[in-house]
Amino acid sequence: MSNKRKHKTLDLNNKMEILKKLDSGENMCKLAKEYGVGRATIHDLKKKRQKIVDHVKTMESGPGKRKTLKVGDCPKMENALYMWFLQRRSKHTPISGEILKTKAIEFYKKITHKDDFRASDGWLDKFKKRFGIRLLTVSGEKLSSDESAVQPFIQHFKNKVEELGLLPDQIYNADESGLFWRLLPNKTFVSSTEASAPGRKVSKDRITFMPCSNATGTHKLDLLVIGKAKNPRAFKNICLPVCYKNQSRSWVTREVFSEWFHKDFVPEVRKFMKRSNLPIKALLVLDNAPGHPNEQELKSSDGNIQTIFLPPNCTPLLQPMDQNVIQKIKSLYKNKLLIHIISQDGDITQSLKGMNLKDVVFSLAHAWKSVSSNLIQSSWKKLWPTMNDVSETEETDEWDPEDNMPIVDWLKNLSEKGLETSEENLNIWFEGIEETEQIMTDEEIISEAVQEESFVEILEPPTTTTAIRVKPDNALMCFNTCITWAEENGMSAKDIIILRNMREKVFKQGLQVAQKQTSIKDYFKTT
């Protein structure tokens, strides 16, 4: 009798491993033999690649031991519950299994108007597996910062740095934060779908961004920006100044973070170390957010680029990026948001509707570039008090004080655009204090979870800025006007040089267009 191969169902971890190996060029037959499945199974995985990858990206802590993409009996309730769970986790709010079960029953009643759902332990276990939920904190976990863990970790961090023989240039920190990019001082949100869906509750436009830099501020990686859309229309033919990734809820998940670490962080760090004539090794300091893989998963293939995790409940006390750096980025972004609104024709609602992700990522990138190395170095004082003793980096401030418009002028300009707010409210908005309260209500979560399009790719509608194509001749005239204005108003030589370089690029592109048109005309004359 021939030995018939025993049926084997691969879990999602194995499926992801196979897909990555296929991407690197490995043979299907070889992979089938390695994983003990038929070649047809490997072929099917390749066909379903995008569906598997997109699903794993939605899972907070990865697929674990899950094998299928099956949904529960009430997917809308579970989608809403998962959104609620992620939102609470992002605020480091303790969540127990009992809390999840109670919330599930509440959402089920609101969505189905029925009372026949029993949130059993079996259902909870399957829900956790379906959504890749790694840990549930116990109900008694304390919410406040754990000061008792601070000094032991500072010593542990110091020992690790000495053990690896690292300089401040080789030690990095990254931390993510949410941004409601259409939020104004009066908490008004405008959705791009509002016009096409009258009566529908307006959702908050949110992205996640993550700055990452070494301790001296000499190597600031491009911001990681996570949005919902996989291929935003606004990004077409644009060279982005950020590292953009998509996730259905704009959250950081294990899959998204792991991809950033191995495909973006590690290569960029290696390039920087090589340019700086430093040993190619580094240490990345992270908090213990649920979307972060463990230290073993976040390590370069040669083991020279490693990670270290802050203890629980210590982020406000030790995390460098949490010591005014993220707040500075948001403040600078809001500065640019107000400039955009005030400089546009029409009222505030029209100005906000005209914004898209392209405007957001360029403003964020500029804000991040403007954060000085001095501010970054000072953000490490709590975690690494002796850092400046070994750092020889010159202190610089790249932020132009002229960009800080007095509050009185902001209030006047906003009032002229139809937005009345107070000085206190505007100051609070700039400082980001109110954002701790900007979480979606249960009703908003349910409204978004039950929408069919909330789990598919979201495409932005074309705006007037993307629909109009500017001709080189018109662009050239605009740059000539800008250069004249800059020279007459005492702008810096650096800014004027940038404008002149852009004018030169427009001129060269115009020549190329003219040459193509001429050659086409000549062709038709001779045929």
Report the alpha-carbon distance of residue 328 to residue 332 in Å, rounded. Answer: 6
Cβ(255)–Cβ(136) below 8 Å: no
**Torsions phi, psi of 235, nearest 5?**
-90, -5
Report the alpha-carbon distance of residue 255 to residue 61 in Å, rounded. Answer: 8
Report the alpha-carbon distance of residue 377 to residue 381 in Å, rounded. Answer: 7
Task: Report domain 75-130's class.
Answer: mainly alpha
Report the alpha-carbon distance of residue 8 to residue 42 in Å, rounded. Answer: 12
Q: Which residue has the tokens 């982020």?
A: 315
Report the alpha-carbon distance of residue 77 to residue 108 in Å, rounded. Answer: 6
Question: Could you tell me how far CA 17 lies from the centroid of its own chain?
Answer: 24
**Torsions phi, psi of 100, nearest 5?**
-65, -40
Question: Could you tell me how far CA 396 lies from the centroid of its own chain?
Answer: 27
- Which two structure tokens, joined as six digits, stand for 44? 């099917």
Report the alpha-carbon distance of residue 205 to residue 250 in Å, rounded. Answer: 10
- Which two structure tokens, joined as six digits, stand for 399? 């932020």
* Residue 303 one-letter amino acid: G
CATH code that applies to domain 149-455:
3.30.420.10
- The kind and range of the H/E element at 226 are strand 224-227
Q: Which of 378, 92, 437, 4 is nearest to 216 (CA)?
A: 378
- Decide the pairing of beta strands 177-180 and 206-210: antiparallel
- The kind and range of the H/E element at 109 are helix 97-112
pLDDT by residue, tens only, the chain of 527 residues: 455 566 677 777 788 778 878 887 888 888 888 888 887 888 888 877 777 776 676 665 555 555 555 566 788 888 888 888 877 766 666 778 888 999 999 999 999 998 889 889 889 888 887 776 765 543 334 445 567 888 999 999 999 999 999 999 999 999 999 888 888 886 555 444 443 333 333 345 889 999 999 999 999 999 999 998 888 888 888 889 999 998 877 888 888 999 999 999 999 999 999 999 999 999 999 998 777 888 888 999 999 999 999 987 777 889 999 998 999 999 999 989 988 888 887 778 777 877 889 999 999 999 999 999 999 999 999 999 988 665 554 444 444 444 567 888 888 888 888 888 888 888 888 877 555 545 667 787 787 676 643 433 333 444 444 445 677 778 888 888 998 898 888 888 888 888 888 888 887 777 777 666 666 556 555 54
Same fold, 75-130 and 149-455: no
Question: Could you tell me how far CA 409 lies from the centroid of its own chain?
Answer: 32
Residues β-bridged to residue 307: 284
Question: Collapsing DSSP states into helix, strand and coil, what is residue 111?
Answer: helix
Report the alpha-carbon distance of residue 283 to residue 212 in Å, rounded. Answer: 12
Report the alpha-carbon distance of residue 304 to residue 270 in Å, rounded. Answer: 10
- Which two structure tokens, joined as six digits, stand for 427? 């100051």
Report the alpha-carbon distance of residue 390 to residue 161 in Å, rounded. Answer: 12
Domain segments of the chain as ranges: 75-130, 149-455, 469-526
CA distances for 258 relative to 292, 299, 307, 422, angstroms:
8, 10, 12, 43
Radius of gyration of the chain from its Cα atoms, rounded to whole angstroms: 26
Report the alpha-carbon distance of residue 410 to residue 397 in Å, rounded. Answer: 24
E strand intervals along 290-423 = 305-309
Strand ordering across the sheet containing 171-174? 212-214, 171-174, 282-286, 305-309
The set of residues, in sequence order, having a beta carbon less than 8 Å from that of 130 and lying 6+ positions away, is: 66, 70, 71, 72, 78
* Residue spans of alpha helices (H) in 405-492: 407-416, 423-431, 442-449, 464-467, 472-488
Report the alpha-carbon distance of residue 201 to residue 189 in Å, rounded. Answer: 11
Q: 133: buried, middle or exposed (CB in 10 Å: 19+, 13-18, 0-12)? A: buried
* Residue 453 one-letter amino acid: E
